[in-house]
Amino acid sequence: MLLVNQIREQHDQVLAGLKKRNLANINETIDQVLALDDLRKSSQAQRDQLQAEANGIAKQIGQLMKEGKSAEASVIKERTAEIKQQIKELDDINAQAEGDLKALLYTIPNVPHTSVPSGKSAEDNEVVLTHGEIPTLFEGKLPHWDLIKKYDIIDFDLGIKITGAGFPVYKGKGARIQRALINFFLDEAMAAGYMEVQPPILVNEDSGYGTGQLPDKEGQMYHATADNLYLIPTAEVPITNLYRDVILNESDLPVKNVGYTPCFRREAGSWGAHVRGLNRLHQFDKVEIVQITHPDQSYEALESMSAYVQGLLQKLELPYRVLRLCGGDMGFTSALTYDMEVFSAAQERWLEVSSVSNFETYQTNRLKLRFRGEDKKTQLAHSLNGSALALPRIVAAILENNQTEDGILMPKVLHPYLGFDRI
C-alpha cells in the first residue's frame, strides 16, 4: 500500500499518477487519507502530552507523600483519574483512526511510474517492440482446441467430469510437454542466478494482504473457508511472502527466487472464442520469478527480467511483442508492467503469456520487508515479479504455430526434455 508520507510529501505527483488509472473520486479519497492521518497524529500528540502530565503528577504525589502531605496528594490524585480517562478516550480515537486509515489505504492502488501511458483499456497499451516472423500455415490449419482432440493429448471433457470447466486433463505427450516446459523454465532461471523454491500452494490471509491480492481480488481466489486459507493465483504470493517481516542486509540484494506451482483463478473470464481451450483456465501451471532489490536498482532489474522472459520466447521460436501497459489496464499493485504476448497463427491473434512488474514499495510496505544499509538504517526494499512462463497459452501457440499436415513439430530447445521431436 502507499506510504502516507509519500501521499503527503508528493501530493500532486501521486494524484497525477493515480488519475492515469481513471479512478473516480480519487481527490476525495486522498483528502480522507490525510484527514485520518492528521487525526491520528493529533490524538497521539494529545495523549503524549497528557502522559507527560501524568508522569509529572506521579512524581509530585511521591514527593508529597514523603513530606507527609497526604491530603494534598489526594487532591492531586483526582486529576490523575481524569487524565487516565482522557488517555483512554484518545487511545480509542487513535485506534479507530489507525484502522480506518489502513482500510482506506488498502483500497488505493499503486501510483503508476511516470513512463506509464494514460489509457482506459488494453487498446491503449503501448507496443514497445515486436520480435520474430509470424508463420504462414497451410490451408486447413486448426486452432489448438481441435489439435488436442485430433492427437488426443489434452482432454477437457475428462476435466469437466472430474472437476468442472477450466480444469483440463493432460495425457501422454500433452503431459510430457507440460513437464518439459516446467523443467526447461526452471533450468533457465537457475542458470540466470535465481534460487529455486517450492512454496505451499495454500496461503493464509496475511499472505494475501501482503502482496495485494486481498482485499482487491478476493472474489477471484478459491477460498478454503474451514481453515481460512486461499489457493494461490500465482507463485508470486507465497514466494514474496517468504520475506514478510524480514530485514535483509543491503549486501544480500538482489534476492532472486524462482518457483513452479499450479495456479488457481475462480474468475477465469467470459464465454467466447478468446477464452476457448487453453486460452483461459481455472487451474494452470506457471513458473514465476521474483526479485527483491535496492530501490535504486529496481527499474534496471525490471528491464533485465523483461529481457530474460523474451529470451525464453526466442528459444521457443515464438513470435512475440512487448507491451507497456497503460494506467487503465495495469494491475492494482503495479507501478510499471510489461506484458509479453505471442502470436497464435491459427487463431490469428496475440495471446498474453507473461507479465513482468515492478511494485516499488507497494508490496514491501504491506510486508514490512526492509533492508539495512551500511549506515545501519533500514528502509523498504522494492519487489518485482514476472511469469517465466505461464504454460497454457505457450502450449497453445507451440501447437498452432508448429502444425504441419503430417503432425506438430516441437521446438528444438525442448527435444532433450521431451524425448520426441514431433507429435
pLDDT band for position 38 (cuts 50, 70, 90): very high
**304 and 258 fall within a common domain:** yes
**210 and 271 fall within a common domain:** yes
**408 and 264 fall within a common domain:** yes
Domain span holding position 84: 4-106
Residue 271 has pLDDT above 70, yes or no: no
Q: Would you state the pLDDT for residue 293?
A: 98
pLDDT band for position 275 (cuts 50, 70, 90): confident
70 annotated ligand-binding residue: no
**42 and 158 fall within a common domain:** no
Residue 267 has pLDDT above 80, yes or no: no
**197 and 252 fall within a common domain:** yes
80 annotated ligand-binding residue: no
Q: Which of 106, 130, 160 is the last residue of a domain?
A: 106
234 annotated ligand-binding residue: yes
**127 and 265 fall within a common domain:** yes
Domain count, the chain: 2
288 annotated ligand-binding residue: yes
354 annotated ligand-binding residue: yes
How many angstroms separate the CA atoms of 157 and 137, rounded? 28
265 annotated ligand-binding residue: yes
Average pLDDT, the chain: 95
Q: Would you state the pLDDT for residue 273?
A: 52
pLDDT band for position 198 (cuts 50, 70, 90): very high
How many angstroms separate the CA atoms of 292 and 252, rounded? 9
**27 and 165 fall within a common domain:** no
Residue 77 has pLDDT above 90, yes or no: no
Pairs from 402-408 (Cβ < 8 Å, separation ≥ 24):
402/135, 403/137, 403/141, 403/142, 403/147, 403/346, 404/138, 405/138, 405/140, 407/151, 408/147, 408/151
Q: Tell me the CATH number at 318.
A: 3.30.930.10
111 is a domain residue: no
Q: Would you state the pLDDT for residue 80?
A: 87
**pLDDT mean over 190-218:** 96
Q: Burial of 371 by CB count in 10 Å (0-12 exposed, 13-18 middle, 19+ buried)? A: buried
**pLDDT mean over 13-24:** 95
396 is a domain residue: yes
Q: Tell me the CATH number at 68.
A: 1.10.287.40
**pLDDT mean over 54-77:** 85
